[in-house]
Structure 1
Amino acid sequence: MAGSGGDEEDDVAARRARALYTGVVMSITPLLHLSLQFRRLQGHSQYCMWLERLGYPSRKRPSGLLIWFHAVSVGEGISAIPVILHCRDARPSITILMTTSTAAAHSVLEQRLPPEVILQFAPVDTPTAVERFLLHWAPQAAIFMESELWPTLILQSAVKGIPLAILNARMSLKSFERWSASPMKPLVASMLSRFSLIAPLSNKEAVRYQILGAAPSVIHFLGNLKYACALGDSKKERSVGMTDIEAQLVDRKVWLAASTHAEEEEAIIRIHKELNKSVSHLLTIIAPRQPSRGQHIMIKLQRQGFNVAVRSDGQRISGSTDVYLVDILGELNHFYAIVPIAFVGGSLFQGLAGHNIAEAAAAGCIVLTGHHVGHFQEMVWEMQKMSPFSVIQVNEDGLVNTLRKFLTDEACLAERRVAAERAISAGASGVVTRVWESLESYILKKALV
């Protein structure tokens, strides 16, 4: 009887938390509609995006079974691709719907997903938009990537009997503390109790999910899909354009600063100047996290006397080029494939939280990154365990010294590149098969009954 009373109290607390959340969401719904009208004036593509965000589909639903994958942004969306490809091959009769929440992710996934996958923007987390979305698409299963806990989306899906999974499940300390705070904890407990499969990336995250309300029986360690995705990308054929750029790098000492943030670019300028004192024929390639900042970066570099070639302008790398600026979205993996050393940014200064290092390692780069990498620290430790010399964490001074060593020591450079590839091969081994078998057992069997 006591247990029953406790369950009833939990249910009441969850209903109150959901009512509070729904009230807040509904109060901002008029602002979302105003945003839609504003974006209508800015261009048709943005208007279509916001129609989909309000739950209005832009495609008809094909007949038959449909599996829905959801990822908020670029990295999470790309991580889903190996499973989507496996699903397409294993069950070709099933329609696959992929949703995302950002324009950048939509743009990248549009280029990388198979044409038969339906790509849409996810609905905002209001009851009306979510209901409209679910009524139209009527998925037989919903698979969320990494850390997508949207109360209305999850709970309304569960009410409709849709089996739910989270792959590459993350739960940062910050998110854990936020969800643990009253009155949010009953709401997240209600959400997590609806999942049939949660595949966390570490023991630490598994414990956090269970403390917040996930059943231990739904927790399964399957591996990190980012390794499989990175390995798959590294095997793609190089385009004619990239072969031409690679030819322009001959006789240059090249390193790539990838996914950089504004404060890091100041450091990269200092590092280039310091390296230039001892490394001949030096070329620094900068690929900012936000390519839209390219013009600003170019002006800053030119004011300091650098000879800059810009990718989006089609400019070639000459013998006098100091910096090559990659300001086109979706090309980073292509450049990883043609450079020997990559510094993965978003990591050099406090307040940053790192970016995916697996893509650079899979391409055969020596991987350098900073100490401020957020949840990617787990990946750093995991890769170092699989291959001790696969990733090197540095501060600004350490980056200068490490780059100088590798740019002037060909034998050491070759050895470390092999170490990085070895770690990715180990991490990717069997992960897609394990994920798919778990989806078959815990999700699709329920979905296809």
Structure 2
Amino acid sequence: MAATKSKAVYNVYRALSHGLSPLLYLHLHWRKLRGLEHPLRWPERLGRPSLPRPPGQLLWIHAVSLGEGMAAIPVIKQCIQRRPDLTILMTTTTSSAFEVIEKRLPTGVIHQFAPVDTPSAMDSFLGHWKPNAIVIMESELWPNLIMGASERGITLALLNARVSTKSFKRWSGPLLLPLVSLMLSKFSLIVPLSNMQAIHFQLLHAPPFVINFSGDLKYVVEEFDISEGEIRSIEDLKVHLAHRKVWMASSIHKGEEEVILGIHKVLMQQYPDVLTIIVPRHPQHGKEIAQVN
């Protein structure tokens, strides 16, 4: 009975996502005009590949944005080290994540923009790339992706798995729980980022035997260039800023930098050496801030 209800809810979702496909197409065009989609590669979001599939086994690693993408890089490097014959395909959703991550991806890793979760886009993507396994970072639980992969016999793993309090309440409701339970049953491995998250996934009916805790992958810090100067790691940055007052405004939108800079000027009156770090949601916005200020 429960399985029948879960399948029925999924069929409703699949029908709705198919019906909304034309609107999603227009939405992608609108995002492209706003600079939020890649100007040339945006058709990849519709499941249209821009590269051929190499022969052999292929692992698809999906990360929606920059934070998840950075956490995925150590995983990718480990996969390459253990299986150098394996082709790795990485997808991100945002172009801002791609601009940062592409410089840090190991040689040979293929990047594509993730398809929207419509039946046609996902079927096209899976049909072209034919992954042997899929690793999803954090909370990207998309029914057409997961069910389409399961129907093709593709192994699924969810790393750094998390669900926000808001999403947990929504997913626990009688309408969505059957669908979420069905999706989670298709995973061979779920690695939550905390014990509390592991409990959340069990309450959402994830099979207990597939849940394995290993900690938050975002704490796996690797060396990276912050500038062309002497700061080349997080430890160098800590030393450099150890005796300064520092505050950060993260993931800001256009226009919010004016408020942040106003606060910075006020703080400088009491702390002349204060350092304000502004982290825009989109890298292009950062370039604009730097040019103006």
TM range (shorter): 0.7 to 0.9
The answer on 1:285 being equivalent to 2:273 is no
Q: 1:287 is aligned with what amino acid?
A: I
Q: 2: CA distance between counterparts of 1:183 and 1:146?
A: 22
State the match for 2:83 in structure 1.
Answer: 91
Q: 1: CA distance between counterparts of 2:258 and 2:279?
A: 8
The answer on 1:27 being equivalent to 2:15 is no
Q: 2:138 is aligned with what amino acid?
A: E
Q: 1:73 to 1:14 in 2, by over 3 A?
A: same
Bigger RCO of structures 1 and 2 (CA < 8 A, at least 6 apart): 2
Q: 1: CA distance between counterparts of 2:219 and 2:32?
A: 39
Gaps of 5+ in 1: 1-8, 299-309, 314-324, 326-449
Contact 2:58 2:131 in 1 (8 A): yes
Q: Secondary structure at the match of 1:223?
A: coil
State the match for 1:240 in structure 2.
Answer: 228
The answer on 1:222 being equivalent to 2:206 is no
Q: Could you give the per-residue CA deviations for residues 144-179 of structure 1, whole angstroms, max 9, x where no partner exists?
A: 001110011001101111111111110111111111
User: Could you tell me which of 252, 263, 271 is aligned with 1:261?
Assistant: 252
Deviation at 1:133, TM superposition (A): 0.6
Q: 1:17 to 1:90 in 2, by over 3 A?
A: same
Contact 1:125 1:151 in 2 (8 A): yes
Q: 2:46 is aligned with what amino acid?
A: L
User: Could you tell me which of 142, 156, 162 is aligned with 1:150?
Assistant: 142
Q: How many residues are matched?
A: 281
Q: 2: CA distance between counterparts of 1:88 and 1:50?
A: 28
Contact 2:257 2:278 in 1 (8 A): no
Contact 2:57 2:87 in 1 (8 A): yes
Q: 2: CA distance between counterparts of 1:140 and 1:274?
A: 54
Q: 1:12 to 1:237 in 2, by over 3 A?
A: closer
Deviation at 1:122, TM superposition (A): 1.1
Q: Could you give the per-residue CA deviations for residues 119-159 of structure 1, whole angstroms, max 9, x where no partner exists?
A: 00111111111111111111111000011100110011011
User: Could you tell me which of 74, 83, 95 is aligned with 1:103?
Assistant: 95
* 1:291-440 paired onto structure 2 within 5 Å: 291-293=283-285, 310=290, 312=291
User: Could you tell me which of 109, 126, 146 is aligned with 1:117?
Assistant: 109
State the match for 2:68 in structure 1.
Answer: 76
State the match for 2:196 in structure 1.
Answer: 204
Deviation at 1:241, TM superposition (A): 5.5
TM norm structure 2 = 0.85
Specify which structure has the higher proportion of helix. Answer: 1
Deviation at 1:253, TM superposition (A): 5.3
State the match for 2:166 in structure 1.
Answer: 174
Q: 2:279 is aligned with what amino acid?
A: P
User: Could you tell me which of 179, 195, 202 is aligned with 2:187?
Assistant: 195
Q: 1: CA distance between counterparts of 2:260 and 2:268?
A: 12
Deviation at 1:285, TM superposition (A): 3.4
The answer on 1:53 being equivalent to 2:26 is no
Q: 2: CA distance between counterparts of 1:107 and 1:37?
A: 20
Q: 1:261 is aligned with what amino acid?
A: I
Q: 1:36 to 1:176 in 2, by over 3 A?
A: closer
Contact 1:66 1:140 in 2 (8 A): yes
Q: 2: CA distance between counterparts of 1:39 and 1:268?
A: 28
Gaps of 5+ in 2: 232-236
State the match for 1:270 in structure 2.
Answer: 263
Q: Secondary structure at the match of 2:17?
A: helix
Q: Could you give the per-residue CA deviations for residues 71-110 of structure 1, whole angstroms, max 9, x where no partner exists?
A: 1111001100001011111110000000111111121121
Q: Secondary structure at the match of 2:248?
A: strand
Q: Percent identity?
A: 45
Q: 1:276 is aligned with what amino acid?
A: Q
Q: Secondary structure at the match of 1:165?
A: strand
Q: Secondary structure at the match of 1:111?
A: coil
Contact 1:154 1:191 in 2 (8 A): yes
Q: 2:228 is aligned with what amino acid?
A: V
Q: 1:26 to 1:192 in 2, by over 3 A?
A: same
Q: 1:206 to 1:238 in 2, by over 3 A?
A: closer
Q: 1: CA distance between counterparts of 2:285 and 2:83?
A: 42
CA RMSD of aligned residues (A): 3.0
Q: 1:198 to 1:80 in 2, by over 3 A?
A: same
Contact 1:36 1:47 in 2 (8 A): no
Q: 1: CA distance between counterparts of 2:287 and 2:38?
A: 23
Contact 2:267 2:274 in 1 (8 A): no
Q: Could you give the per-residue CA deviations for residues 44-97 of structure 1, whole angstroms, max 9, x where no partner exists?
A: x73543311111111111000111100111100110000101111111000000
User: Could you tell me which of 3, 13, 17 is aligned with 2:5?
Assistant: 13
Q: Could you give the per-residue CA deviations for residues 350-402 of structure 1, whole angstroms, max 9, x where no partner exists?
A: xxxxxxxxxxxxxxxxxxxxxxxxxxxxxxxxxxxxxxxxxxxxxxxxxxxxx
Q: 1: CA distance between counterparts of 2:287 and 2:154?
A: 46
Q: 2: CA distance between counterparts of 1:209 and 1:131?
A: 27
Deviation at 1:294, TM superposition (A): 5.0
